[in-house]
Amino acid sequence: MRFTINREEFLKGLTTASRAINAKNPIAALTNVKLDLNENGLFITGSNRDLTIRILVPYFLNEKEIIRNYQQGSVLLNLKVIEFCREVKTEEVVLDVNDETIATISSSNGNNEMTLQCIKVEEYYDVDLDPDTTEITLTNTEFHEMVNQTAFAASLKEQRLILTAMNLEANNGMLTVTATDSARMARKEIRIPDNINFVANIPAKMMVEVDHLLENQEYITISIGDKKTLFSFDRIVVATTLVAGEYPNTKNIVPHATNYSLQVNAQEVLSAIRLANLVTERENVVDLNMSVEEVQISAKSSQTGSGVNKIEVFKFEGSNLRISFNSEYVSSAIKALGSEDVEFSFIGEMKPFVIKNPNDDSIIQIVTPVRTYY
* pLDDT value of position 75: 96
Distance between CA atoms of residues 261 and 318, nearest Å: 7
pLDDT tens track for 247-278: 999 988 888 899 999 999 999 999 999 999 99
Given pLDDT bands bounded at 50, 70 and 90, which one contains residue 70? Answer: very high
Average pLDDT over residues 341-360: 95
- Do 6 and 99 sit in the same domain of this protein? yes
CATH number of residue 345's parent domain: 3.70.10.10
Given pLDDT bands bounded at 50, 70 and 90, which one contains residue 97? Answer: very high
**Domain contains 119:** yes
Given pLDDT bands bounded at 50, 70 and 90, which one contains residue 7? Answer: very high
Given pLDDT bands bounded at 50, 70 and 90, which one contains residue 374? Answer: low
The string of DSSP letters for 283-309 reads: T-EEEEEE-SS-EEEEEEETTTEEEEE
Between the alpha carbon of residue 311 and those of residues 3, 268, 323, 344, the distances in Å are 65, 7, 15, 14
Between the alpha carbon of residue 263 and those of residues 222, 313, 333, 346, 362, the distances in Å are 37, 9, 15, 12, 18
pTM check: above 0.85? yes
- Do 234 and 266 sit in the same domain of this protein? no
Distance between CA atoms of residues 205 and 202, nearest Å: 9
**Domain contains 255:** no
Residue that finishes a domain, picked among 123, 153, 188: 123
- Do 161 and 90 sit in the same domain of this protein? no
CATH number of residue 193's parent domain: 3.10.150.10
Looking only at the bridges linking them, the beta strands covering 228-233 and 165-171 are unpaired
Distance between CA atoms of residues 190 and 241, nearest Å: 23
Distance between CA atoms of residues 10 and 18, nearest Å: 12
Distance between CA atoms of residues 68 and 96, nearest Å: 13
Domain residues for the domain of 185 are 134-241
> How many domains does the chain contain in total?
3
How many Cβ atoms sit within 10 Å of the Cβ of residue 202? 24
* pLDDT value of position 12: 97
**Domain contains 223:** yes
How many Cβ atoms sit within 10 Å of the Cβ of residue 61? 14
Distance between CA atoms of residues 324 and 344, nearest Å: 13
Task: Give the DSSP letter of residue 246.
Answer: P
Residue 373 confidence (pLDDT) above 80: no
Q: Are 185 and 328 in contact (CB under 8 A)?
A: no
Residue 302 confidence (pLDDT) above 80: no
117 CB-near residues (< 8 Å, 6+ apart): 78, 101, 102
